[in-house]
Amino acid sequence: MQQGVIEQVLQQLQQVLIGKPRVIRMALACILARGHLLIEDLPGMGKTTLSQALAQTLGLSYQRIQFTSDMLPADILGVSIFDKQQAEFVFHQGPIFRQMILADEINRASPKTQSALLEAMAEQQITVDGITHLLPRPFFVVATQNPSEQSGTFPLPESQLDRFMMRLSIGYPSADAELKMLKGGQDHHGDLPQCLSAMELTQLQRQCDQVSASDALLSYILALVEGSRELNEGYGLSPRASKALLAAAKAWAFIHGRQYLVPEDVQAVFVAVAEHRLRQSSQQQGEQLSRRLLNTINPIR
């Protein structure tokens, strides 16, 4: 039954983002692994469309936050306002109090505003005026960013990049897919049927946790991680990244109907998990290092 539900989710998402089945599977694997997703591409490629479709299909409350250069942290988190009747400060929640947040064009905001998401992404809570507020569960951040060479962008710091489990790029559609989009006319994605509830999604996440990984498979993951630290001159993958790689590989295996990991699961998700953590000066460098590691280190079977 679980595979039937997953196939239903995938088929519905593929009707929205036409011709990108691998991107859709990777995005779903990221969510099943409880990860946050960074989508980096040119404007108009379907980044916002994918996030909206994920929220509607998975039954999650959703809020889009448009990041701009003049945005302040309080515009995201909320603010305490003095209430004369109660004679005390009352906290007014910001738009972050939803199960799925689209941080649209996150790299157009200043580093100070970008950092407002750090605690939320790491601990699913925020702190305002010394008071901690829990965020809804499950909680996901899907952030989009434009290429760094475009004007008006602020590069995401390494500490924030490391909190995204995966980075994806949608890319241009094929000629056939784009023709199908043109023939489809006006998009109508606001009324997608809900395939799952938040509770059912949480149950699927727990089932992903139960996917087994042999000692040889874990040794393969560790070899990739240690290799990244040697190749990238001390800027390799962190322990958070190794845990993310294992969780993402389990989710990928689960989507494909298996309760155990094989090396191909790790290889399928490795570039998406690793390249944004390995880049120093350019996206291409991070991707080249990731693929070099896959070609250099062989799994122990």
| Dist CA 287 CA 279 (whole Å) | 8
Q: Where are the alpha helices (DSSP H) in 80-214?
A: 111-114, 118-123, 158-161, 175-184, 198-209
pLDDT of residue 151: 57
CA distance 252 to 208: 9
Q: What is the pLDDT of residue 191?
A: 74
pTM: 0.88
Buried b or exposed e, range 86-114, using 16+ CB within 10 angstroms: eeeeeeeebebbbbbbbbbbbbbbeeebb
Instruction: Determine the Cα–Cα distance for residues 244 and 173; give it in Å rounded to an integer.
Output: 28
Average pLDDT of each block of 10 consecutive residues along the chain (301 residues)? 82 88 94 94 83 92 90 89 81 92 88 85 88 91 78 73 90 84 65 86 93 94 90 78 96 94 95 84 66 81 59
CA atoms within 13 A on the CB side of 1: 6
pLDDT at 281: 47
Q: 3-class SS at 93?
A: strand
State which amino acid sits at residue 276: H
Confidence (pLDDT) at 258: 92
- Backbone conformation region of residue 62, classed left if phi is above 0, alpha if psi is from -120 to 50, else beta: beta
* CA distances to 40, 275, 280 from 164, in Å: 12, 11, 16
| Tokens encoding 22 | 């691998």
Q: Angle CA(147)–CA(13)–CA(37) in degrees, nearest 5?
A: 40
Strand partners, 142: 37, 102
Q: What is the dihedral of CA 203, 134, 61, 118, to 10 degrees?
A: -100
Backbone phi, then psi, for 17, in 5-degree steps? -105, 90
> What confidence score (pLDDT) does residue 112 get?
82
How many Å apart are CA 166 and CA 30, to the nearest integer? 7
71-84 as b/e: b if 16+ CB within 10 A: bebebbbbbeeeee
